[in-house]
């Protein structure tokens, strides 16, 4: 049975339509169709993700992993001067993204890829509203593989609802990334920022805390 995360949805009748909405004050239009994620409306998870997503000064290259019909990548392309790639396994979503890039007059690259299979570069930022329905196996693999496609200062930003297992996803991310923090939450959705490496200041903080803890134990033992 075809899903929004199927590679090929050719057996599904095509019935394209246009939807329009504003994201944080940026107006956009999208052609959507049967067989793609959230074809009728702007998804709430994506909305919460884009509400809290911030672009750092060092972010030059961005990947929208699992782009669907292109909301995240096109929004970032309209708002910032970035080099953006968007990928999805779903060929229909890729064709719609190509049309939507033109419709919104942005410069963004889009190509089909099963996870990172067709990707051969690294990014400063990887953003994903993960395919929860495809199962943990698929999106935990996204989180793990993203490490190999992030630059050393790179970050992964994702969004998960607590009813879809945000807590266990955070634990998993903490087991593989150097730092993980919740940068925003709304309507049960948590926006999670995971960093490949610590910044100098975060490292300094950890050393300081560690020193203070040792100092405290020393006082307790020898008072």
Ligand X SMILES: C[S@@+](CC[C@H](N)C(=O)[O-])C[C@H]1O[C@@H](n2cnc3c(N)ncnc32)[C@H](O)[C@@H]1O
**Segment holding 165, helix H or strand E:** none
Which region among 25-33, 64-72, 96-104, 173-181 touches ligand X (by CB under 6 A)? 64-72
Residues 17 and 32: beta-carbon distance below 8 Å:
yes
37 counts as binding ligand X under rule CB under 6 A: yes
Least gap, CB of 8 to ligand X (angstroms): 11
Q: Report the alpha-carbon distance of residue 39 to residue 22 in Å, rounded.
A: 16
Among 32, 46, 97, 100, binds ligand X (CB under 6 A): 46
Tokens coding 128: 């994903």
Q: Report the alpha-carbon distance of residue 92 to residue 29 in Å, rounded.
A: 17
SS3 144: helix
134 counts as binding ligand X under rule CB under 6 A: yes
Total residues interacting with ligand X, rule: CB under 6 A: 23
Which region among 38-46, 96-104, 181-189, 190-198 touches ligand X (by CB under 6 A)? 38-46
Least gap, CB of 126 to ligand X (angstroms): 12
Query: Could you give phi then psi for residue 33, rounded to 5 degrees?
Result: -160, 170
Whose structure tokens read 């033992």? 221
Strands of the chain, DSSP E: 17-23, 26-32, 61-65, 83-88, 109-112, 123-128, 150-161, 179-186, 189-195
Positions 192 through 221 that interact with ligand X (CB under 6 A): none
**For ligand X, which is the closer residue by CB, 178 or 185?**
185
Among 71, 96, 106, 108, binds ligand X (CB under 6 A): 71
Which region among 22-30, 67-75, 143-151, 160-168 touches ligand X (by CB under 6 A)? 67-75
Whose structure tokens read 């504003």? 22
Positions 72 through 101 that interact with ligand X (CB under 6 A): 72, 87-90, 93
**For ligand X, which is the closer residue by CB, 104 or 113?**
113
125 counts as binding ligand X under rule CB under 6 A: no
Least gap, CB of 88 to ligand X (angstroms): 5
Q: Report the alpha-carbon distance of residue 66 to residue 143 in Å, rounded.
A: 12
Residues 68 and 91: beta-carbon distance below 8 Å:
no
Interacting residues with ligand X (CB under 6 A): 4-5, 37-38, 43, 46, 66-68, 71-72, 87-90, 93, 113-115, 129, 131, 134, 138
């Amino acid at each position: 049975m075809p899903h929004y995360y199927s590679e090929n949805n050719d057996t599904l009748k095509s019935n394209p339509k246009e939807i329009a909405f504003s994201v944080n004050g940026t107006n956009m239009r999208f052609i959507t169709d049967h067989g793609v994620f959230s074809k009728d409306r702007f998804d709430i998870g994506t909305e919460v993700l884009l509400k809290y997503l911030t672009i750092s000064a060092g972010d030059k290259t961005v990947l929208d992993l699992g782009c669907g019909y292109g909301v995240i990548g096109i929004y970032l392309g309209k708002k910032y001067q970035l080099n953006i790639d968007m990928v999805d396994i779903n060929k229909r979503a890729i064709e719609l993204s190509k049309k939507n890039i033109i419709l919104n007059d942005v410069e963004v690259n889009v190509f089909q890829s099963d996870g990172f299979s067709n990707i051969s570069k690294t990014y400063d930022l990887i953003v994903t509203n993960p395919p929860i329905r495809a199962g943990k196996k698929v999106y935990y693999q996204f989180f793990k593989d993203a490490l190999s496609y992030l630059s050393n200062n790179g970050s992964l930003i994702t969004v998960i609802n607590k009813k879809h297992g945000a807590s266990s996803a955070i634990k998993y991310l903490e087991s593989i990334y150097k730092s993980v923090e919740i940068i925003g939450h709304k309507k049960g959705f948590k926006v999670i920022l995971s960093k490949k490496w610590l910044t100098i200041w975060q490292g300094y903080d950890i050393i300081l805390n560690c020193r203070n803890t040792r100092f405290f134990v020393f006082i307790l033992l020898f008072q």
